[in-house]
Structure 1
Amino acid sequence: MTSVLLVVSSADAWTLKDGTKHPTGFWASEFIHPHIVFSQAGYDITIATPGGIAPTVDEFSLALEMNNNDQSAIDEQRAYLAALGTKLTQPVRLEDVKADDYDAVYVSGGHGPMEDLAVNEKIGEIFTTLLLNQNKVVAAVCHGVGALLPAKNVDGTWPFVGRRITGFTNEEETALGFGDKAPWLLESRLRAAGADFFGGAAFGPHVIVDGNLVTGQNPASAQPSAEAVVKALSSVAAK
């Protein structure tokens, strides 16, 4: 059975430029939509967080204004998360994961990854290991793309230099009111690291597939980026 490691931030706050803590966590739809896609594909899904800490959903992701003022959509998301029970509330410790046990790794978003996964050596190791195997897929969406940053080759270089990547853009961060508050901006940091960064229309679906690397820009890109992972793994299976 195809196995996917679904990585979620365990941070419940994001430290801003002025040192204040902004309540955050994982973005509901950026976890739920990929989980649904992978479940429907029949994959064995392992949910992991740094420290095995129960992840916190960002309540802003369940606000009416973030869900087209559709309370039923919010209720459905809360019900989906609750139905996962201990699979979500007692995740696997990321530190205990063996990269070779998985066919793909997917990092969901929310501002949480900016606090922990963007500086997490273990997720960097997992990305580096799987990226080297063209039969495996590495993927992330929105701020989860920040988890690519700690990846390192044996010689210390970044394995994603020159790769086509997308993620939450500076334009989108500014629109949310964090452009001048964030300690660093994801797009800027990825470009500085050597990524060939491409942003699509603000808050619209945008996915980039570069070899066995899949990245999605924002919440609207969660489902299509997960579908791109399934397509990539299906292509490998068909060989």
Structure 2
Amino acid sequence: MTAVLFVVTAADHWTLADGTRHATGFWAEELATPHRLFREAGFDVTIATPGGVTPTVDAASLAPEATGGSDQADAIAAYLESIRADLEKPVTLEEVDLDAYDAVLYPGGHGPMEDLAVHAASGRLLTAALDSGKPLGVLCHAPAALLAARREDGSWPFAGYRITGFTNDEETAAGFADKAPWLLQDRLVERGADFHAAAPFSEHVVADRNLHTGQNPASSARLARNLIDVLNRR
């Protein structure tokens, strides 16, 4: 059976520029939608977090205004409830064996800006996944995790790759651009990514070699389906 690893933030807050903590975690749709689509495709999905910590869902991501209506919000919440056992007992990221998986996906939310952006084990996993040629999906704020990747010579493995992620314009519209200690788009460009942005909150996915990135929650389903197509062709 095709096996997919989901690497999920363990952070329950994001430290803002003034030192205050913004309550966050993973974005519900970005985990639930790809997880459901992979399961429907017959894939086995394993969830891993730093330290094996039970991940926190960002409460704002379950609000009807964030999901497109109360019916959609209820459906996402119900799906997360259906996989509660997997969420409550994730595997430990630091102990993951990449050879056991056919693909890797990082859902977003502001949480990765707090922990995965500076997590050395995650950075090593991302580098290994990139070099393996296995499909690697990274969604919304999760490209922050790419910043922790390093080669032995200190270079950034993702330099020159076409990448998308949550944009400066979207962070501004969300009300956090002037509060953030750094902006994802800016930091990726500084590191050498070829960043591609579409209209704010529109569906947008970019593929470059085996790296597949999605701009925002609206891109969750398309990113997952693209990965499914790649895996089914193998």
Q: TM-score range by the shorter chain?
A: over 0.9
Corresponding residue of 1:13: 13
Please state how far the C-alpha of 1:93 moved relative to its aligned partner: 0.8
Question: What residue identity is the alignment partner of 2:31?
Answer: F
Deviation by residue 1:173-206 (Cα, 9 ceiling, x = unmatched): 0100101100000000000010000011100000
Map 1:1-239; keep pairs closer than 5 Å: 1-68=1-68, 70-134=69-133, 136-235=134-233, 237=234
Please state how far the C-alpha of 1:133 moved relative to its aligned partner: 2.0
Q: Distance in 1 between matches of 2:123 and 2:230?
A: 21
**TM-score, normalised relative to structure 1:** 0.95
Question: What residue identity is the alignment partner of 1:13?
Answer: H
Q: Distance in 1 between matches of 2:109 and 2:84?
A: 21
Q: What SS class does the counterpart of residue 78 from structure 1 fall into?
A: helix
Q: Distance in 2 between matches of 1:228 and 1:189?
A: 26
Please state how far the C-alpha of 1:98 moved relative to its aligned partner: 1.2
**TM-score, normalised relative to structure 2:** 0.97
Aligned residues: 234
Quote the RMSD (CA, aligned, Å): 1.0
Q: What SS class does the counterpart of residue 208 from structure 1 fall into?
A: strand
The question of whether the paired residues in 1 share the 8 Å contact of 2:29 and 2:217 is answered with yes
The question of whether the paired residues in 2 share the 8 Å contact of 1:119 and 1:150 is answered with yes
Q: Which runs of 4+ in 1 moved over 3 A?
A: none
Question: What residue identity is the alignment partner of 1:65?
Answer: E
Question: What residue identity is the alignment partner of 2:126?
Answer: F
Gaps of 5+ in 2: none
The question of whether the paired residues in 2 share the 8 Å contact of 1:94 and 1:122 is answered with yes
Q: Distance in 1 between matches of 2:46 and 2:79?
A: 16
Please state how far the C-alpha of 1:64 moved relative to its aligned partner: 2.2
The question of whether the paired residues in 2 share the 8 Å contact of 1:212 and 1:232 is answered with no
Deviation by residue 1:77-126 (Cα, 9 ceiling, x = unmatched): 11111111211111111111012221111000000110011111111111
Q: Distance in 2 between matches of 1:145 and 1:39?
A: 24
Please state how far the C-alpha of 1:67 moved relative to its aligned partner: 2.4
Q: Distance in 1 between matches of 2:166 and 2:56?
A: 20
Question: What residue identity is the alignment partner of 2:186?
Answer: S
The question of whether the paired residues in 2 share the 8 Å contact of 1:100 and 1:130 is answered with no
The question of whether the paired residues in 1 share the 8 Å contact of 2:9 and 2:115 is answered with yes
The question of whether the paired residues in 1 share the 8 Å contact of 2:5 and 2:45 is answered with yes
Question: What residue identity is the alignment partner of 1:221?
Answer: S
Please state how far the C-alpha of 1:213 moved relative to its aligned partner: 0.4
Please state how far the C-alpha of 1:76 moved relative to its aligned partner: 1.4
Q: Distance in 2 between matches of 1:146 and 1:18?
A: 20
Q: Distance in 2 between matches of 1:210 and 1:100?
A: 22
Deviation by residue 1:145-188 (Cα, 9 ceiling, x = unmatched): 11111111221111110000000000000100101100000000
